[in-house]
Structure formats: structure tokens, C-alpha cells
Amino acid sequence: MTVHPAQLGRFFDDYEVGDVYQHPFGRTISEADCTWFTQLTCNTNQNHFNHDLARSNPITEGRVIVNSGFTVALVLGLSVIDTSQNAVANLGWTDIKLTHPVYIGDTLYAESICTGKRESSSRPGMGIITMITRGLNQDGDVISTWTRSVMIPKRETGIGQDYFPQAKAGPMTLEQDKK
């Protein structure tokens, strides 16, 4: 029997410059997502929640457009499992571009390419990974891009590992199911 321990994400050791990570989840945006995020952030632009007013906007083709803050946050979230699940610090975002409108009902995906990798000069056992991430809609249109740098531990540090609790009843076995 092999036990596969709980583990998410990657460590500094796992990255190679030029590797592309197609992040595994997609997420469809609902009207509630857009409305709640817009209200939560006090964004009063009615193009995000007023269907009647949005009809007069020539850029949005008369549809409610998703709050761009939500778009960026969602694409970032979709990338975390591969790019920063084990990060100890976000170091910077640059060159954020919103390149295609996002509407209620669109499904977003994300992918990233590793553009830089170096050991930290100030934190032993850590490295700095730089990636360009882009968001795609269901039709393959690029809806956003940015460059992001994160500090990620090396596997040898043990950070982010061995967090799953040991069961007091002992390891799971097939025999337990037969009792």
C-alpha cells in the first residue's frame, strides 16, 4: 500500500524557466458574484449592476460588464494552485492589462509561464519565482495579463508540508472497511 500525503502546489525546486502551467480549474461568473464583489468594494459604477444603464454603454454591447477587480482576483485565484499555493510572500505585480471585456456567464481559465527563477539573497531556503499569468474566457480570448513575483520555499525547508494530522485510530487499511 502506498500513502500519498496531502500536498498542494509546487516548491522553488519544481519550477523551470519557460515551463507553462495550465491551471486546472475554470470558473463561471454569476450575476451574484459580480453584484456582491461590486458592493463589497464600494464600486459605484452602475455598468456592473444596472442592466438598464448598461444597455446604453457602447463598449459593453449593452450588457452588464464584470467588475475588473473581480476579474483580476478570480484569475489570480485560479492560478494559485500552481504558482503560489506554497508561497510565503507576494512580492509584486506589474503590467496588469485588461484586454477583453468579461460578462456575466463567462467562464474564466488561467495559465502562467515561468519567466524567472532565482534564490533569495536575504532568506535562506527561499527562492523568487516570476511568472506571466493570463486569463482566458471560454472562447479562448485573452481577457487579462500581468507579471507577478512570489517568494516560495525550497522543499528542504519543510514549509507547507506534513500538515495533515495523524489519525489516532492509526493508518487506513482495507481491513477497517470489513469490520
Reported as a single tens digit per residue, the pLDDT across 51-90 is 999 999 988 888 999 999 999 999 999 999 989 999 999 9
The x, y and z cell numbers of residue 81, run together, are 494552485
Q: Which residues contact 5 (CB under 8 A, 6 or more apart)?
A: 161, 162, 164
Task: Examine the pLDDT at 18 and tell me if it is beyond 90.
Answer: yes
Per DSSP, the residues of 111-128 read: EEEEEEEEE-SSSTTEEE
- Percent of all residues in the chain with a pLDDT value above 90, rounded to a whole number: 76
Distance CA 115, CA 131 (A): 5
- Distance, in Å, from the CA atom of 34 to the CA atom of 22, rounded to the nearest integer, reads 25
Choose among 136, 16, 152, 11: nearest CA to 87.
Answer: 152
**pLDDT given for residue 177 in this prediction:** 59
Among the listed residues 66, 60, 62, the one whose alpha carbon sits nearest the alpha carbon of residue 137: 66
CATH superfamily of 12-158: Hotdog Thioesterase (3.10.129.10)
How do 107-119 and 20-22 pair as beta strands?
Answer: antiparallel
